[in-house]
Structure 1
Amino acid sequence: MRNAPPDARSDTPLQQHWRAEAVRLREAHWGPLEDQAASQAALRAPAQLGPRILARAAWLAGHSPLQDCLDRWRHGARWALLALWLIAGLAGIGAAGAALNPGQGSVNLATALLGLLGLHALTLLIWLIGCLPGLQPATALSRLWLWLTRKIARGPDAALAAQAFLSLLTRERAWKPAVGLLSHGAWTIAYLGAIPTLVVLLSTRSYSFHWETTLLSPQAFVTFSQWLGSLPQWLGFPTPDPLAVASSMGSAQGASAAIQADWSLWLIGCLVTWGLLPRLLALVICGAWLRQRLRHLSIDPDLPGWLELRERLLPTHQTLGIDRPAPEAGPVQSGAPALRAATRHAAVLAYELGSDLIWPPDGLPDTVQDLGRCDSREDRQRIRAQLDAAHLLLVCDARLTPDRGTITWLDELNHTGPDLRILCLGGPTERRQAWQNALVRQQLRQVPDLTAWLEHIGPVSHD
């Protein structure tokens, strides 16, 4: 059985608007949904189109498999993100080990820097260019994340959930910071794996560092090392002097242990300053950017699918007050009893009772509201508009098999009122077990007779 439909006010704004976008796209692809009850529920929301569209979407998603699909996709996206970041951490550890030239003991500093900072610098530059207006921010990491999510969150509407999520973020201009958050988070975790690995390896093994070149002059490496070490020096990392750089040209076997230690700390400082810190800063910026975008989520009433809801959710006719005293009530001509204006504490409703079953039942107190019989779609619409009771007793004919329409109606009443009880009349029949099974699946409680229900609700009075 599905859970109770979500309350549009209890979820985050992102979840509310994502759900509304999913309903809009579903109706755009496969046609309008049956939403009479959803519209009635939405009309209880504040008299603004946005909140009512969100309330309608919450009701529709909660009474269909769509909400389960959205929840499954959300959980799948989280697991995919964790898997992606775990892979990034392992890649950082592997890159640090590979940069130190395992098994050789001699490390070419230019090759090590290129392996540890080269791809990072290139992807960071691509991200900065993608932040320019009019450019798409799609990255390989974002495509990999969506692919992993699709593999984890399988289901009939998984593609709809992903499409609604991307459509919402793109329309709100929040996709760029979302992609940045994903990418910078992965790179941050990669460096959080690489830097401790370097520290452990450099602390437990002996390495010699040197520069090698065929085309460049020794002065080029002096300038390069001094420039890269300028920022790490602010954090306390040493930078070898020009003589140490010159002594490390070619083979560094003759360099002292102190110079090798300085090169180790210089390499770690370069990773912290030029690798980890820029990614951390970009991660914070993207987080604040995304939060600012999501704080201003709104419903665009001109979008297809929402434009058609304006008249139903914001009807142009309004009650302007009492124009003249109402005429005295005459005898009721309709077969269904007229509801009194005052809200009752409890009510009873007959659902498709046979003509041989007496209604209203004997012994019904005057303080319990009689909603009459419900035998048609028009009766359901009347009851939706007028039902307002703390306790509802639905009286059913156990001689009829509960079909899909009956199950839907029971589910709707169960979510409309806080206390719904079922009374099955018609004597013992072979179909009573079908009713028992249906009520158990819907988690609905039965009462044996009217007297037991009146004892359950206690003393009732006019409101």
Structure 2
Amino acid sequence: MWNRSPSFARPAAGPLLQYWQAEAVRLRESHWGPLEDRAACQTALRQPADLPGRILTRAAWLAEHSELHDRLIQWSIGARWALAALCLCAFLAGIGTAAAVLGQGEVNLALALMGLLGLHVLTFLIWLASWLPGLSGSTFLSRLWLWLTRRLVRGPDAALAAQAFLSLLGRARAWKSALGLISHGAWTAAFLGAVPTLLLLLSARRYTFHWETTLLSPDAFVGVTRMLGAVPGLLGFPAPDDAQIAASLGLQPLAAGVQADWSLWLIGCVVVWGLLPRVLALSACAGHLRCRLSGLTVDPGLPGWLDLRERLMPTHANLGIDRPAPAPGGAAGAGVVAAAGDWTAVLAYELGPDLDWPLAGLPDDVVDLGRCDSREDRARIRVQLVSPPAHLLFVCDARLTPDRGAAAWLDELRRSCPDLRALCLGGTPERLQAWQDVLARQGVASVPDVAGWLDPVRGARHD
């Protein structure tokens, strides 16, 4: 299941990605059972004794050594593209709506306001009502965004990435803020398309504005105009006076200055009652979302994490080998099952992520068998060793305590490769001595560094 780490170093994952990876790993193990995580737990145990931090470290290791990390990145990129496409469609819709409400020349102000602000006001009120307890925050735009994201990002773990992200938002109580960010972002894009279009068309063509009614009196329109134009007037958008408003109900043509005042009043209403509320709501949702996500934590009591407490926070420490490994079946070099080939290789055994690999100073003719961190890696290496190398360097992390699994793997490699040497990196004197004891029982010589291994290898080749 797990792939070898790439040779290049990934940038450090941000806090959100770390929690997202942990949630994705938790959901995967809840659905399909525990993963092979021995090396991941050993890496986590090197961190300070903090269970949430070790859970994040374990999840990061599992994600980095599989395709899960890349799937999450791909899903996040797809989600951004889906949001960009949604905002682009809203921008074009705003342009089309502004051009449609102005028509060919005569503009009914009541219908123009309904066309530009009617749906906006309705959806804005629905969004405000969604914050009431017990009401869903899902909107058409949010469902459309998720649908577009699913279309853009397909393949294994795509659904898991989405489920983990939504679960993370829900646990942080940031789901409604995220939905508001999508909705207000799209509406802001729509008004950013509508306002410039209104300015352009009103500057390039001549329009006449009027109110039309059968039931209402002129005083009703005067009151509505004054109410809607009060706040825009504070920002410098003029409005016709009472006489001009009343005259706009008739069929007689109005002066050009009155038409200009009506056009600026209409633009002011769109800016103040359309664009500004959406920008303010967008900023509020972004701030609330950032605040909620900054408080993300790991709840060790959740299913999938509860079972990790004993492994990541052990109540006892393993300070050495619990009992000696079974003695090898023969002396070093005995029992080789395949003829050695004329090539040289190196192998990393459960190296920590802070140790660079491949080793510096290796010649180009030395084959890198990669890292061996799981059963799948051992199976891959066994296939490569069908024709074993003449010389093999076993590189281990001496900060870890050698166990019977390491001893058995050394014995298997020794039986395949006639010249097996070991290089121990790091570790305390006690751990180094434990490794030396295991190597001595297996009949494997240790080398101090890469040069100390290469010199005898080159000498053997010349002989």
TM interval, short-chain normalised = 0.7 to 0.9
AA at the equivalent of 1:405: R
The equivalent of 2:279 in structure 1 is 280
Task: Quote the Cα distance in structure 2 between the aligned partners of 1:184 and 1:220.
Answer: 32
Contact kept? 1:5, 1:63, Cα under 8 Å: no
Alpha-carbon distance, 1:356 to partner: 3.7
Pair 1:20 & 2:19 matched: no
Pair 1:257 & 2:256 matched: yes
AA at the equivalent of 2:223: T
Task: Quote the Cα distance in structure 2 between the aligned partners of 1:244 and 1:3.
Answer: 75
AA at the equivalent of 1:255: L
Counterpart mapping for 1:440-455 below 5 A: 453-454=450-451
TM-score, structure 1 normalization = 0.73
Pair 1:355 & 2:328 matched: no
Pair 1:407 & 2:417 matched: no
The equivalent of 1:54 in structure 2 is 56
1:329-354 deviation digits (Å, cap 9, x = unpaired): xxx88648xxxxxxxxxxxxx9xx87
The equivalent of 2:83 in structure 1 is 81
- Residues 255 and 41 of structure 1, relative CA distance in 2, 3 Å threshold: same
User: Among the aligned pairs, what percent are the same residue?
Assistant: 56
SS at match of 2:209: strand
- Residues 409 and 34 of structure 1, relative CA distance in 2, 3 Å threshold: farther
Pair 1:184 & 2:184 matched: yes
1:165-208 deviation digits (Å, cap 9, x = unpaired): 10110111011111111111111111111000000000000000
Alpha-carbon distance, 1:12 to partner: 1.5
The equivalent of 1:298 in structure 2 is 297
SS at match of 2:276: helix
| Structure 1: unaligned runs, 5 residues or longer | 327-331, 337-349, 359-370, 375-379, 428-449, 459-463
SS at match of 2:289: helix
Task: Quote the Cα distance in structure 2 between the aligned partners of 1:62 and 1:271.
Answer: 49
Counterpart mapping for 1:55-454 below 5 A: 55-101=57-103, 103=104, 105-251=105-251, 253-318=252-317, 335=327, 355-356=335-336, 384=350, 405-407=378-380, 453-454=450-451
Alpha-carbon distance, 1:72 to partner: 1.2
Alpha-carbon distance, 1:406 to partner: 3.8
Alpha-carbon distance, 1:218 to partner: 1.2
- Residues 415 and 5 of structure 1, relative CA distance in 2, 3 Å threshold: farther
Task: Quote the Cα distance in structure 2 between the aligned partners of 1:199 and 1:316.
Answer: 71
- Residues 6 and 170 of structure 1, relative CA distance in 2, 3 Å threshold: farther
- Residues 454 and 34 of structure 1, relative CA distance in 2, 3 Å threshold: same
| Structure 2: unaligned runs, 5 residues or longer | 339-345, 370-374, 385-393, 399-412, 420-446, 456-463
1:343-396 deviation digits (Å, cap 9, x = unpaired): xxxxxxx9xx873499xxxxxxxxxxxx9xx9xxxxx9xx64999987599999
The equivalent of 1:443 in structure 2 is none
1:84-128 deviation digits (Å, cap 9, x = unpaired): 111111011011001102x3x100000000000011111110111
TM-score, structure 2 normalization = 0.73
- Residues 289 and 452 of structure 1, relative CA distance in 2, 3 Å threshold: closer
SS at match of 1:132: coil
Alpha-carbon distance, 1:10 to partner: 2.1
AA at the equivalent of 2:86: L
AA at the equivalent of 2:335: S
Alpha-carbon distance, 1:404 to partner: 5.8
AA at the equivalent of 1:230: A
The Cα RMSD (Å) is 4.0
